[in-house]
Amino acid sequence: MAKTCDAIIIGAGIAGASLAFHLARRGLKPVVLERRFLAAGATGRSSGLVRMHYDLEAESRLAWASFHYFRNWKEVVGGECGFTRTGFLQIVAPAYTAKLRANVTMHQRLGIPSLLVTPDDVKRLAPEFATDDFEMAAYEPESGYADPVSTAQSFLTAARERGAELVQECRVSGVSATGGRVTGVVTQRGEFSAPVVVNAAGAWAAEIGKLAGVALPLDTWTHEVAYLRRPASIRHHPTVIDDSLSMYFRPETGGLTLVALEDGNRFGEAPDADTEHVAKGFVEKAVERLCRRMPGMEAGSLHSAHVGRDGISPDQRAMMGQAGPQGFYVACGFSGTGFKIGPAVGACLSELILDGRAATVDISPFSLKRFETGELLKGEHAYQSIWH
């Protein structure tokens, strides 16, 4: 006999956990089916940057709506999300200064605390930074990073307290539909039936799409991250996306600095390909670039490195909305930037499912229709694609 529930969410990453919380808050009893364990995918490897700086307004809106959760986690969700305010700097090459200005104007219009700063200002914020290769940076004094595993965990704990269920080691292998309506899923632990099924399967979402007859234009993106020990001379620094040097970095607890690169990411690997080993040369490249921005790191040392994998769409923006049989929804293709928008993604999808449209943020730009019409999303004042 199939187990019956109000909604089935496939995947217990940040997207599935946040959606479970928001549906449960509206009185539904969703079941989250996870083939391994909570945060086993991209969420468990995420660098956790929390910033609102995007060149696409719809993404800034999602990040800004989510920021309210990160800042008020205990009251809004409960438990911990590990949000740490460090301040956030977006550094761009001089060729992008005009676009940076325009994007900061857009962020300020949305109410996001963001301002333009000069290299001298940056030197005051981060005295150890080299500041001779850019004209202007954007600064978000309130931003920082959070702990993705705690964030997903506390979303699911709060969802379960409201009647949701998490079933781990439960791989979905079939999606059932009758008369053009989704009716449930088949798993290694038997069948589950529900009028709503949501594909939040991250790098595996194309496989789930196929089970429902939905072809998702989804590739995989494999990303490497290194953790370095800072020398005692560098006590702290802000969180930074350094487009000029194609990298990002942030402080981590224990005197560490996390660093990763925007280029050299691998595309098209199988979702289950190795995530245990970083590629040869990655650590050296990351250290070399970090030392260009923070020369004092030359006295640092390697702590560890890891690999993660996310689903990526052709325009490197999320895919969200109804697709295929009625009652089937997708929340995937987060393209290496889906953690910080996770809270709003869950809120918006719950609204779409229950009310027919998202009110928190308009997520219609992220619908799959854009891949049929060829109108891919592009920032109003676009920088280069973040991953290349």
Ligand X SMILES: Cc1cc2nc3c(=O)[nH]c(=O)nc-3n(C[C@H](O)[C@H](O)[C@H](O)COP(=O)(O)OP(=O)(O)OC[C@H]3O[C@@H](n4cnc5c(N)ncnc54)[C@H](O)[C@@H]3O)c2cc1C
Q: Which helix (H) or strand (E) holds 127?
A: none
User: Does residue 186 belong to the site contacting ligand X (CB under 6 A)?
Assistant: no
Residues 117-136 that bind ligand X (CB under 6 A): none
Among 300, 321, 325, 336, binds ligand X (CB under 6 A): 336
Rounded Cα distance between 18 and 154, Å, is 9
* Type of residue numbered 298: E
User: Does residue 321 belong to the site contacting ligand X (CB under 6 A)?
Assistant: no
User: Does residue 3 belong to the site contacting ligand X (CB under 6 A)?
Assistant: no
Which residues are CB-contacts of 259 (< 8 A; sequence separation ≥ 6)? 225, 226, 227, 228, 247, 248, 249, 286, 287, 289, 290
User: Does residue 239 belong to the site contacting ligand X (CB under 6 A)?
Assistant: no
- Please choose, from the candidates 55, 4, 230, 43, the residue with its C-alpha nearest in 3D space to the C-alpha of residue 152: 43
Q: Compare residues 136 and 206 and give the one whose CB is closer to ligand X.
A: 206
Piece of the chain touching ligand X by CB under 6 A; list 78-86, 125-133, 203-211, 371-379: 203-211
Among 338, 343, 365, 379, binds ligand X (CB under 6 A): 338
* Type of residue numbered 181: R
User: Does residue 24 belong to the site contacting ligand X (CB under 6 A)?
Assistant: no
* Residue 332 Cβ vs ligand X, minimum distance, rounded to whole Å: 6
User: Does residue 10 belong to the site contacting ligand X (CB under 6 A)?
Assistant: yes
User: Does residue 12 belong to the site contacting ligand X (CB under 6 A)?
Assistant: yes
Strand partners, 144: 50, 85
How many beta carbons lie within 10 A of that of residue 374, not counting itself? 7
* Residue 50 Cβ vs ligand X, minimum distance, rounded to whole Å: 7
Whose tokens are 């800034």? That residue is 60
User: Does residue 339 belong to the site contacting ligand X (CB under 6 A)?
Assistant: yes
Phi then psi for residue 27, to 5 deg, are 95, 0
Rounded Cα distance between 212 and 324, Å, is 7
Q: Is 197 helix (H, G, I), strand (E, B) or coil?
A: strand
Q: Compare residues 11 and 209 and give the one whose CB is closer to ligand X.
A: 11
Annotate 36-50 with DSSP letters as a single string.
S-TT-SHHHH---EE
* Residue 11 Cβ vs ligand X, minimum distance, rounded to whole Å: 3
Piece of the chain touching ligand X by CB under 6 A; list 32-40, 69-77, 114-122, 176-184: 32-40
Q: Compare residues 136 and 339 and give the one whose CB is closer to ligand X.
A: 339
User: Does residue 225 belong to the site contacting ligand X (CB under 6 A)?
Assistant: yes
Tokens of 13: 């990453």
Q: How many residues bind ligand X (CB under 6 A)?
A: 40
* Residue 335 Cβ vs ligand X, minimum distance, rounded to whole Å: 7
Annotate 289-351 with DSSP letters as a single string.
HHHHH-GGGGG-EEEEEEEEEEEE-TTSS-EEEE-SSBTEEEEE--TT--STTHHHHHHHHHH
Q: Compare residues 136 and 226 and give the one whose CB is closer to ligand X.
A: 226
User: Does residue 159 belong to the site contacting ligand X (CB under 6 A)?
Assistant: no
Q: Let me know how long the chain is.
A: 388
Among 9, 23, 28, 41, binds ligand X (CB under 6 A): 41
| Whether the Cβ atoms of residue 301 and residue 255 lie closer than 8 Å to each other | no
Phi then psi for residue 243, to 5 deg, are -65, -30
Piece of the chain touching ligand X by CB under 6 A; list 110-118, 129-137, 197-205, 372-380: 197-205
Among 5, 8, 9, 15, binds ligand X (CB under 6 A): 15
Rounded Cα distance between 180 and 159, Å, is 29
User: Does residue 334 belong to the site contacting ligand X (CB under 6 A)?
Assistant: yes
Rounded Cα distance between 21 and 200, Å, is 14
- Please choose, from the candidates 96, 91, 48, 97, the residue with its C-alpha nearest in 3D space to the C-alpha of residue 294: 91
Q: Compare residues 80 and 207 and give the one whose CB is closer to ligand X.
A: 207
Among 36, 71, 85, 189, binds ligand X (CB under 6 A): 36
Q: Compare residues 39 and 294 and give the one whose CB is closer to ligand X.
A: 39
User: Does residue 172 belong to the site contacting ligand X (CB under 6 A)?
Assistant: yes
Among 53, 223, 317, 381, binds ligand X (CB under 6 A): 223
Whose tokens are 């088949």? That residue is 186
Contact residues toward ligand X (CB under 6 A) are 10-16, 33-36, 40-43, 45-49, 171-172, 200-204, 208, 223, 225, 308-310, 332, 334, 336-340
